[in-house]
Amino acid sequence: MNSAALQPEAPLNRRDFLRSASALAASAGFAGTAIAQQPEKPNAQDKVELSQIHATTEQPEKIPGPFESRDHRTGFAIVGLGRLALGEILPAMGKSKYCKPTALVSGDRQKALKIAAQYGIKESSVYDYTTYDQLARNPDVQVIYIVLPNSMHADFTVRGARAGKHILCEKPMATTAKDCERMIAACEQAKVKLMIAYRSQYEPNDLALIKMIRAGKLGKLRQYIATNSQNQGDPTQWRQKKALAGGGCMPDVGVYCLNAARFLSDEEPYEVQATIVQPKDDPRFAEVEASCQVIAKFPSGFVATFNSSYNAHKSQFLRIEGVEAFAELNSAFAYHGIKLRYSKLIDGQEIMHEPSIEEKDQFAEEMDHMALCVQKNLKPHTPGEEGLQDQRITDAIYESARTGKAVKLSPPHAPTRSPDPVEA
Ligand code: NAD
């Protein structure tokens, strides 16, 4: 063998070297043993592991991930830069696996530019409410996340769908059933996805409770009690204006109790009876109710009782009772720290269990679900139909409160939720 035969004509790059080395190894009959082929470039989807430094008696530390690379993430435009967008949604982008913020829409350009700089969003991808439709020409945006006052959801959904973008819309979906139907029709016509941001349906404790109920661990469901209350301040905010909010505590926080009664029981109510309280001497409640109390009856005999309030101290709780056990979420509907507990008679002892469930950011989970639905072309678990059904029931709740009579509801034409979240 002359020395020239050993010299490659051009220097081998790393990939060529690995290829020829594996070919050599294969021809020598020891492929896969002597020389393990290394990936040339690290894959963002490979989980990064660190060695455990604590004793085996300690709970192992968890390194989150794997995370999708920025190039492969679904781009989100956030519309409305208020408390929820700045406090929860944008920070949750950092915990998401499949999403990235790529555009902002706000009436306050200076604020939007500051936030764009913080999240690495291009200045050219900052829009206002009049230039919003130009999102159609922004290839970095696949999903529009609408985080505006409730009555604005419908128009911004319709315009976003016409711009050819998928829509993730905050709860409540809108302020009238007619607007919900308009949103669904616009998204169908534009062939884009519509998801309502019911974060509880992507939250690990809620998902564990759904699993328990479906597995029959509580026995036949009998009743449910829930409350979602908070004490409002500023009487001039949009939440206290009927035209922008659609109502008071019921569509804002009561909707969580209603939605959970439906997704936990997997049934639809056929009747609601409700009262509202609207104190005349409190300027906060000139236009909307301060509290709402509801009894909803379901075909199996299951009964849900729930309260919501804008003038009681923050209180969030849910308990569901079956023939064989009860389970509760405390604080149900909260952003953080939800705990599932259930009580059951075992060997003659009534025992309260609190399973250890890893906390996850509900907003990241919910947005990742939307991103995966876009990437895999699936219908979201909580589509527009789910928001429309809550709106129909909310309308019946107000009718009952107004007339003092129980109001009958017809069932939806088809199931309102799609199969379970992909991630669950
Ligand atoms: P917010 O008042 O803090 O923010 C609303 C944003 O809309 C602000 O940036 C405001 O400038 C903008 N806006 C545009 N037009 C407006 C108008 N005519 N009047 C008032 N504001 C206007 O409200 P928020 O708490 O961020 O709520 C926004 C949406 O998110 C609501 O639909 C609400 O129900 C929903 N929300 C959901 C959750 C959840 O846990 N999923 C929590 C809070 C709020």
Q: How far is the CA of 147 from the centre of ligand 1 (A)?
A: 6
Residue 338 sits in the same domain as residue 356:
yes
Residue 208 sits in the same domain as residue 185:
no
Quick check: is 419 in a domain?
no
Pocket of ligand 1, candidates 150, 179, 238, 316: which has the most ligand atoms within 8 Å of its Cβ, to mutate? 238
Quick check: is 213 in a domain?
yes
**CB of residue 94 inside a 6 A radius of ligand 1:** no
Reported as type and span, the H/E element at residue 367 is: helix 362-376
Residue 341 sits in the same domain as residue 325:
yes
Closest atom of ligand 1 to CA, residue 333? 40
- CATH of residue 107's domain is 3.40.50.720
- CATH of residue 307's domain is 3.30.360.10
Using the CB atoms, write b or e for 355-384: b if 16+ within 10 Å: eebeebbbbbbbbbbbbbbbeeeeebbbbb
Q: How far is the CA of 359 from the centre of ligand 1 (A)?
A: 25
Quick check: is 226 in a domain?
yes
Residue 120 sits in the same domain as residue 189:
yes
Closest atom of ligand 1 to CA, residue 251? 34
Residue 139 sits in the same domain as residue 217:
no
Quick check: is 18 in a domain?
no
Domain count, the chain: 2
Residue 190 sits in the same domain as residue 301:
no
Nearest CA to ligand 1 atom 17: 149
Residue 177 sits in the same domain as residue 298:
no
> Is-catalytic flag, 165?
no
Given a contact cutoff of 8 angstroms between Cβ atoms, the answer to whether 365 and 424 are in contact is no
Q: How far is the CA of 16 from the centre of ligand 1 (A)?
A: 55
What does residue 284 show for φ and ψ, rounded to 5 degrees?
Answer: -65, -25
The structure's pTM equals 0.90
Tens digits of pLDDT across the chain (424 residues): 333 333 333 333 434 433 433 333 333 333 333 344 555 666 777 788 889 999 999 988 888 888 999 999 999 999 999 999 999 999 999 999 999 999 999 999 999 999 999 999 999 999 999 999 999 999 999 999 999 999 999 999 999 999 999 999 999 999 999 999 999 999 999 999 999 999 999 999 999 999 999 999 999 999 999 999 999 999 999 999 999 999 999 999 999 999 999 999 999 999 999 999 999 999 999 999 999 999 999 999 999 999 999 999 999 999 999 999 999 999 999 999 999 999 999 999 999 999 999 999 999 999 999 999 999 999 999 999 999 999 999 999 999 999 999 999 999 999 999 987 644 4
Name the domain boundary from 151, 174, 197: 197
Tokens standing for residue 418: 């799609």
Residue 272 sits in the same domain as residue 230:
yes
Name the domain boundary from 197, 220, 250: 197
Residue 165 sits in the same domain as residue 76:
yes
> Is-catalytic flag, 256?
yes
**CB of residue 87 inside a 6 A radius of ligand 1:** no
Nearest CA to ligand 1 atom 4: 82
Residues 6+ apart with CB under 8 A from 409: 268, 269, 270, 271, 272, 392, 393, 396
Which residue range(s) make up the domain with 292?
200-360
Residue 329 sits in the same domain as residue 265:
yes
Residue 244 sits in the same domain as residue 190:
no
Quick check: is 74 in a domain?
yes
Name the domain boundary from 360, 387, 413: 360
Quick check: is 255 in a domain?
yes
Quick check: is 225 in a domain?
yes
Residue 173 sits in the same domain as residue 226:
no
Q: How far is the CA of 292 from the centre of ligand 1 (A)?
A: 21
